């Protein structure tokens, strides 16, 4: 079995080109009896399902705007989960993580996600096709796609990307300081003895923001994981901030550590591991997670829809 990773960006204009590139990809998987997953935004999901007709019964369809709203969830809970479900078999996936309407906060995490696919699934035998809408996406987005995909596809043409860039370089380029909220929100400085205050602080601000009870619990859980990570690995102290912005509640933890694990939070620890679950859990409950790290410290910022 060929265990090389095939990670291709497919550039398309309109429905006809979209279907011309995706339907043969799915049909090839079905003909080879390979499991195939289609994770794309709902409108294109419907068009592809209609185009496949009865053949669609052999395909797993998921709405990427739901399962991949947080780009940090796509690798562990969409792509890797499908591979694990069909372990030992070649697998094909159509994944469209970047669509018109992605926010400026979401986009850097999306590009890092695309770059990290090349690291996470090297030697897996995965074939993944990533559609990019040339009519709706800006030119710099298409340029970034050429940097994160070893192979580019357009119409009947396929070529090796001359712009393909080492994933570590791409991740570093998008490791930018996070914009400061205005006005500055209230903050809590904490250490191990003050950990109980973290939960209280988050509870107060979740209530003020009007978060539903379930989402308030998610926020409390995520903040506790980040604070625990800060006192354990980030120098023993941290600063917690919570504020509301653009229909979301934002929670941020800063510490004095430097994050060096490029896949932290995007891969799941083994069943016997006693660490590495905190950031993965934060990704799981959040609508977006952004991380900035440098020699002076690390900032993790999570977003929940209010």
**96 with 56, same domain?**
yes
**145 with 26, same domain?**
yes
Please state, in angstroms and rounded to a whole number, the distance separating the CA atoms of residues 132 and 130.
Answer: 7
108's tokens: 């850097």
Provide CB contacts within 8 A for 60, sequence distance 6+: 35, 36, 37, 38, 82
Please state, in angstroms and rounded to a whole number, the distance separating the CA atoms of residues 202 and 199.
Answer: 5
Picking from 224, 194, 219, the residue whose alpha carbon sits closest to that of residue 209 is 219
Query: What CATH number is attached to the domain comprising 65?
Result: 3.40.50.300
Picking from 84, 90, 23, 89, the residue whose alpha carbon sits closest to that of residue 59 is 23
- Please tell me the predicted confidence (pLDDT) of residue 275: 58
**130 with 244, same domain?**
no
54 found inside a domain: yes
Query: What CATH number is attached to the domain comprising 192?
Result: 3.30.565.10
- Number of domains present in the structure of the chain: 2
182 found inside a domain: no
Do residues 100 and 41 lie in contact, with contact meaning Cβ atoms separated by under 8 Å? no
Question: For residue 256, what is the DSSP state?
Answer: S
Domain that holds residue 159: 6-173
181 found inside a domain: no
pLDDT, averaged per 10 consecutive residues of the chain (306 residues), comes to: 87 97 98 97 97 98 97 96 94 98 96 97 96 98 98 95 97 95 94 95 90 93 95 93 92 92 80 69 96 95 94
Q: Provide the β-strand partners of residue 27.
A: none
Please state, in angstroms and rounded to a whole number, the distance separating the CA atoms of residues 293 and 40.
Answer: 30
- Please tell me the predicted confidence (pLDDT) of residue 244: 92
């Amino acid at each position: 079995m060929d265990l090389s990773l095939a990670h291709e960006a497919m550039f398309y204009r309109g429905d006809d080109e979209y279907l011309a590139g995706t339907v043969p990809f799915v049909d090839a998987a079905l003909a080879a009896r390979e499991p195939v997953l289609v994770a794309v935004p709902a409108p294109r999901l419907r068009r592809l399902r209609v185009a496949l007709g009865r053949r669609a019964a052999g395909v797993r369809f998921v709405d990427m705007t739901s399962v991949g709203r947080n780009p940090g969830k796509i690798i562990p809970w969409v792509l890797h989960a499908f591979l694990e479900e069909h372990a030992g078999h070649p697998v094909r996936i159509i994944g469209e993580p970047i669509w018109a309407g992605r926010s400026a906060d979401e986009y850097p995490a999306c590009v890092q996600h695309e770059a990290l696919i090349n690291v996470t699934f090297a030697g897996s035998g995965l074939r993944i096709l990533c559609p990019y809408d040339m009519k709706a996406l800006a030119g710099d987005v298409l340029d970034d796609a050429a940097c994160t995909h070893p192979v580019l596809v357009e119409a009947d043409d396929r070529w090796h990307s001359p712009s393909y860039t080492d994933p570590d370089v791409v991740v570093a380029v998008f490791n930018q300081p996070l914009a400061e909220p205005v006005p500055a929100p209230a903050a809590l400085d904490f250490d191990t003895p003050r950990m109980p205050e973290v939960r209280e602080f988050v509870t107060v601000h979740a209530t003020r923001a009007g978060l539903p009870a379930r989402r308030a619990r998610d926020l409390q859980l995520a903040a506790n994981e980040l604070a625990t990570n800060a006192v354990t690995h980030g120098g023993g102290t941290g600063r917690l901030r919570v504020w509301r912005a653009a229909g979301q509640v934002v929670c941020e933890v800063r510490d004095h550590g430097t994050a060096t694990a490029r896949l932290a939070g995007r891969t799941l620890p083994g069943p016997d591991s006693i660490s590495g679950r905190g950031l993965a859990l934060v990704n799981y409950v959040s609508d977006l997670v952004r991380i900035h790290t440098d020699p002076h410290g690390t900032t993790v910022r999570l977003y929940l829809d209010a």
